[in-house]
Structure 1
Amino acid sequence: MPERSPRRRILRHGAIASLGLRSALIASGQLALDLGFAHAASVLAMRVWPSPDYTRIAFELESPLKATQRLQTTPPRLIIDMEGVTASPERLASMLPRVNPADPVISAARFSLLKARTVRLELDLKTGVTPDVFMLPPVATYRHRLVIDLYPAARHDPLRELLGDRRRPPADRPAADPLNDLIREPRGGSATQREPQGGRAQSPRNPPRQSAPPGVFTIAVDAGHGGEDPGAIGPGGTREKDVVLSIAHRLHALINSETGMRSVMTRTGDYFVPLAQRVMRARRARADLFISIHADAYIEPHARGASVYMLSERGASSSSARWLAEKENGADQIGGVNLATRDRELRRVLLDLSTSAQIRDSAKLAAEVLHQLEGVGRLHKREAEQAAFAVLKAPDIPSILVETAFISNPDEERRLADPQHQQQLAEAIFSGVRSYLIRHAAAPRSPAA
């Protein structure tokens, strides 16, 4: 029987092509972005995304523009001059969302006209920052974007605060070296063991039930998409990023209510976290499992049911799995990652490392979660499928991606938006995780409190 045509994400459109950015750091601290604009840039929208780690401001533009930034230390202030802007300062001020008093970085923002078609944005800051200003070309439903990322000079680490001193890595494993973290040997199992045959996850044999080993199991709960990346959007306007965040919070609460388990979330609000950072946050937390939560979409509205995916070392188990992985891996492009400055070595290691032991354990976890999801609703696939999902590539953490339902199906969209159904999905995933830990897990990476 021929393979059905690959599913497609509603909002995904290919990969970003390089713009060939010309950037130069000037001794005075100014950074100029000159993208060779030929036409005046009309500002279509402005968005502000505060998060625990950084604040992002995004200008959506009809065409690229030239931006020059200058950082002032006393008082702390970032000044950005944008050349070729047609809107007046008053018009821009009306488009800028009100600054959230809880924003960790920005205290006030204002526009002024520097000269004809050059508008100045001044950001009063609560603390010193390391700014990253860059342009993004059109992708998905977005036009050109000028992105301003403001990272506190003294980086805040919410994971460290949450987990406390007892979660600190051993002295021989410095937390400041993420690349060293990534290339450490996987815990448990032999790296030479083969993954399930045939490119498809097989249902694992369940060993005799046993008591969970002493210690605290840490579960990384990853709500897909966020911020500039809404994920798939249902016919009724329901956004994937909102639904999966709600399910993730519910799963987080269930895990934290269970003795011997602890949850850490890769994002807790509506902001974007790059795929590599999601994996790194799980590894910094020394997570025992990684669960990425999504809502599927297909071009035809009749597709329905939940699916679970895991990593593959030898190619996708189906064309639909391959296409889904390609689209999910494009989240960085839609969410907005500065490709000119992203750590290339970190990207290479993240995308290259995988282990047979991790895949074997992921297959067991996937089977347990699928079994529980079947009690909530229809399954789209009764076995876990495999593909090269970047967010699942922590080499030593069993990792799965759960597509809870098809948000492109009007009936399933309504169910996904229902808090009661969200709770049922969270409980099913939690039950699958708990069953895996009891049946299959070795000792947790974290000692008992």
Structure 2
Amino acid sequence: MSACRMVVWLLVSLWSGVVAAAELRDVRLWASPDGTRVVFDLSGAAHHNVFALQNPDRIVVDLEQVDPAGVRVANAATGKGLVQRVRSAARGDTGVRVVLDLTQPVDPRSFALAPNDQYGHRVVLDLDRPVATQLPSTPGPLPSPQMTLDDKPVIVAVDAGHGGEDPGARGRSGVYEKDVAMAMARRLARMIDAEPGMRAVLTRDGDYYLGLRQRVEIARKHQADLFVSVHANAFRDPKLRGSAVYVLSNRGATSEHARWLAQRENAADLVGGIEIADKDGDLASVLIDLSQSATMEASFDVGSRILKSMGQVNTLQKSAVQQAGFMVLKAPDIPSVLVETAFITNSEEERMLRDEKHQERFARSMLAGIKGYFASYRPQQQIVRGELQQVSYRE
């Protein structure tokens, strides 16, 4: 290779290296009861490396092929949740080192995400509290595991869709689905708590990311008798409008049936407290199928009641309950419904979703359907009789 060509090749290589360096555009933190999520927004793909240090506790994130000017962006970030402070420094000419000073030891998990409709390239870092120190997902005591004298409350898990890094759909005015869903979920939870013999559990009570299976796990952890996921619908046609209610599709039930069967060693129990870990495959499959069939029937019942009640508040997208394979509907032992309150992409319905009075009406219509369902199908209650503490069940 001639000297001239060598110089050109070196210049091209150096220019390519500069072009390949991504910009660090933002550092966002989301705090939840069980941990903190840190998101690094980048202009392009970048390699990263994460490791923990002690005394004091801190997490180090090395972002490679990132413009060192990103140090200014990282140093402007404010600590939140488990992160006390964010600081950074350049790593030579090709990277940025970010140090997260922590309030306690954490279990870190990191991964890269490709661009989507809302975000560009991202590196996501989840800082989870060690299991022994995790806080309850919602305030207040859990339902007592001890037998009581037939005063077991009805537990309703109210799930505000999306949250944190996942904003959901966005209206023309800039309002996000995650915010209106949280507002209506809180209203519904307060109404449920005001009802005698009923108690609400919010799967999330703040603006933070929560995995879909985590939402179901929280409901099962609190022994919920019903799971209601609150959302706002969206579509590219701004004229589309109306409320809708979804339950699990048969196809979704089949896939979840297979998952539970494959993981029955980790499944503590199904409806009625029947353990399946020690059952053979065929019997476990039958038990899961029976549980799912009863749950889906109940889901249709409560879904129909909620839909009818919502028809008095808003136009219905369809007059019947619809079915889909939503992950949050897949608890095989908890009747579950997903409520699309209104279309956030319809200007008139977006105004309804932002209006506190309409939020109240949506929540009250959901409550009416829930109350109607439990008036007919109270959950079984354990009853302690006499000194022998014999247990019986009743509807």
TM-score, normalising length from structure 2? 0.79
After superposition, where does 1:197-212 map in structure 2 within 5 Å? none
Distance in 1, matches of 2:319 and 2:339, equals 13
After superposition, where does 1:134-153 map in structure 2 within 5 Å? 134-153=111-130
Per-residue Cα deviation, 1:60-115 (whole angstroms, up to 9, x for no partner) = 2122212222211211111122111114254223652x224xx2x11111011232
CA contact (8 A) 1:53 1:156 kept: yes
* Of 387, 391, 407, the match for 2:324: 387
The alignment-based identity, stated in percent, is 39
Code of the aligned partner of 1:157 = L
* Of 140, 146, 154, the match for 1:162: 140
Change in 2 beyond 3 A, CA 1:38/1:345: farther
Structure 2, unpaired ranges of 5+: 1-17, 254-261, 268-284, 385-395
Per-residue Cα deviation, 1:28-77 (whole angstroms, up to 9, x for no partner) = xxxxxxxxx99211123321111111101101212221222221121111
Partner of 1:408: 345
Is the helix fraction higher in 1 or 2? 2
Distance in 2, matches of 1:315 and 1:53, equals 28
CA contact (8 A) 2:75 2:88 kept: no
Partner of 2:34: 53
CA contact (8 A) 1:392 1:400 kept: yes
Distance in 1, matches of 2:219 and 2:382, equals 12
* Of 86, 103, 108, the match for 1:126: 103
SS in 1 for 2:128: strand
Partner of 1:223: 160
After superposition, where does 1:17-416 map in structure 2 within 5 Å? 39-88=20-69, 90-93=71-74, 95-96=76-77, 98-100=78-80, 103=81, 105-153=82-130, 154-159=132-137, 162-164=140-142, 166-168=143-145, 214-314=151-251, 355-416=292-353
CA contact (8 A) 2:306 2:368 kept: yes
Structure 1, unpaired ranges of 5+: 1-36, 171-212, 317-343
CA contact (8 A) 2:235 2:343 kept: yes
Change in 2 beyond 3 A, CA 1:111/1:386: same
Code of the aligned partner of 1:253 = R
Distance in 2, matches of 1:391 and 1:169, equals 28
Per-residue Cα deviation, 1:276-295 (whole angstroms, up to 9, x for no partner) = 11111101111000000000
Partner of 1:418: 355
Change in 2 beyond 3 A, CA 1:255/1:129: same
Distance in 1, matches of 2:174 and 2:75, equals 25
Once the two structures are TM-superposed, the CA of residue 315 in structure 1 deviates from its matched residue by 7.2
Query: Per chain length, whose mean CA-contact separation is higher, i.e. which structure has more relative contact order (CA < 8 Å, sep 6+)?
Result: 1
Partner of 1:193: none
Change in 2 beyond 3 A, CA 1:431/1:107: same
Once the two structures are TM-superposed, the CA of residue 264 in structure 1 deviates from its matched residue by 0.6
CA contact (8 A) 1:167 1:446 kept: no
Distance in 2, matches of 1:155 and 1:446, equals 34
Once the two structures are TM-superposed, the CA of residue 393 in structure 1 deviates from its matched residue by 0.5
Per-residue Cα deviation, 1:349-379 (whole angstroms, up to 9, x for no partner) = 9xx9771111100011011111211121211
CA contact (8 A) 2:68 2:95 kept: no
Does 2:367 correspond to 1:430? Answer: yes
CA contact (8 A) 2:252 2:330 kept: no
* Larger CA Rg, structure 1 vs 2: 2
CA contact (8 A) 1:163 1:285 kept: no
CA RMSD of aligned residues (A): 2.7
SS in 1 for 2:338: strand
Distance in 2, matches of 1:433 and 1:259, equals 13
Code of the aligned partner of 1:117 = T
TM-score, normalising length from structure 1? 0.69
Code of the aligned partner of 1:224 = G
Per-residue Cα deviation, 1:159-207 (whole angstroms, up to 9, x for no partner) = 486334x53489xxxxxxxxxxxxxxxxxxxxxxxxxxxxxxxxxxxxx
Code of the aligned partner of 1:149 = D
CA contact (8 A) 1:214 1:443 kept: no
Change in 2 beyond 3 A, CA 1:116/1:169: farther
Distance in 1, matches of 2:146 and 2:126, equals 29
CA contact (8 A) 2:162 2:168 kept: yes
SS in 2 for 1:295: strand
CA contact (8 A) 1:217 1:444 kept: no
Residue range with higher mean Cα deviation, 132-141 or 289-298: 132-141
SS in 1 for 2:199: strand
Code of the aligned partner of 2:210 = V
Distance in 2, matches of 1:67 and 1:169, equals 48
Give the number of equivalent residue pairs.
Answer: 334
Distance in 1, matches of 2:382 and 2:334, equals 11
Distance in 2, matches of 1:314 and 1:69, equals 39
Code of the aligned partner of 1:241 = K
Change in 2 beyond 3 A, CA 1:90/1:159: closer
Residue range with higher mean Cα deviation, 52-61 or 39-48: 39-48
Per-residue Cα deviation, 1:128-161 (whole angstroms, up to 9, x for no partner) = 1111121112222222110111112244131486
Distance in 1, matches of 2:188 and 2:30, equals 24
Once the two structures are TM-superposed, the CA of residue 415 in structure 1 deviates from its matched residue by 0.8
Change in 2 beyond 3 A, CA 1:238/1:128: same
CA contact (8 A) 1:372 1:432 kept: yes
